[in-house]
Amino acid sequence: MTHETTPPLSDFRAVAELHHRMTTGLILSLMTRKGEKIAADVVYRLFRRQHTETFLPGLEKLNLTGLPDAVASAQYHYLSNAIGTVKVEFMPDSDRKAWIRYPPPRWIFDGTAICGVTNAVTIAMMRGWHAHNGEALGNPNLGFVCTGMTTNGDPGLEGYFYDYDAPLAPEDRLRFAPDEEAPAFDPDAAPKVDSADWPALRLAKAERNYALYYVRSMFAVLLDVFDTADAAALVHLTARLVGMQFYDVTRDMLGITDPSRDGFADYLARMSNAMGNGPARAADGGATVIANKSWRLMEPRQPELLRAWNGIWEGAGAVHDRRLALEIETGQDAADTGWRWRLSG
């Protein structure tokens, strides 16, 4: 029986939920198992990678290229994060100054995870992205001034893009002014995406893509920082913990109530379908097999990380029924992009 159909919105959102938590979990695992310095380095690399890949194309996509650089930068953060369901506020001041504010709860450090993240990681995120907007725009005068950080106990991460009168040295592109405070946010005056261009299905897919992109980018950065075995070990343990912790939530989002192996097979097939893997489910002897055409999360596929990522489903399966056995089988060569889950027990 194939499940390669257009998923309901709930399935996209369940995939987004699980992989959102995966990103948070990986940052916490880095903090607790590798230390603050390495965690901050990984987060810096993560945001540099994403900035390089998405900032300028995103300005085009959001029709922001004709605005002053400070305003365009702030609006980009506001609109792109809003599409990904992240809380952000935008407060323009002038053509040379525009504020943004990320009020709690913070998406990337969700829930009590905020208690396990230090200022060094928040600063690494801003150094990796906000401090490079001027460079990307060809405007050496543009910098970012941080006026508050949630990880410091402030009621939000906030600051403003400012176009100075002279070029900034690289170390001055991110400055700190904790004595300043963002103005009030007026949602009625803020820009909005056109609902005709962003119907509910497109928004649900964007939310999914937003979460998956963070995980895909994190995997690539981990392979740059660690050897493959160390990266895979960190991912597998984190994924298994996240799968166990968030199985109930995502199962309920899908409306699955069957406690049998078939119920978990439905869960896997629907989640994989919502990721775009093209799953097909069949019986194979005494086992249930879900064959996937590809691994859309990471192409070209990294076999070690595919198996490590599978920890998220091992964890979910252990909660559904701890007696379930879940194996993953991959193709024999790089040209074979297919892979299978085999469920037994």
Global pTM reads 0.93
pLDDT digits (tens, 9 = 90+) for 281-292: 998 888 999 999
> According to the model, what pLDDT value does residue 196 have?
72
Residue 320's pLDDT is: 98
Q: Is the pLDDT of residue 194 over 80?
A: no
Distance of CA 83 to the CA centre of its chain: 13
Task: Please tell me the distance from the alpha carbon of residue 261 to that of residue 121, in angstroms, as a whole number.
Answer: 41
Domains of the chain, earliest start first: 63-176 (no CATH), 203-344 (3.30.1380.20)
For residue 279, whether the previous peptide bond is cis, meaning omega lies within 30 degrees of 0, is: no
Which of the four pLDDT bands, split at 50, 70 and 90, describes residue 79?
very high
* Mean pLDDT score of the chain: 94
Average pLDDT estimate for 16-39: 97
Please state, in angstroms and rounded to a whole number, the distance separating the CA atoms of residues 272 and 291. Answer: 10
DSSP H helices, the chain, are: 9-33, 36-61, 69-83, 119-128, 133-137, 200-225, 228-254, 261-275, 303-309, 311-320
> Tell me: the pLDDT tens digits for 122-131?
999 999 999 9
pLDDT at 332: 62
Give the Cα separation of 78 and 89 in Å (integer). Answer: 6
Nearest by Cα to 19 from 197, 276, 264, 292: 276
Q: Please tell me whether residue 142 adopts helix, strand or coil conformation.
A: strand
pLDDT reading at 3 higher than 50:
no
Q: In the structure, what pLDDT confidence band is assigned to residue 82 with cuts at 50, 70 and 90?
A: confident
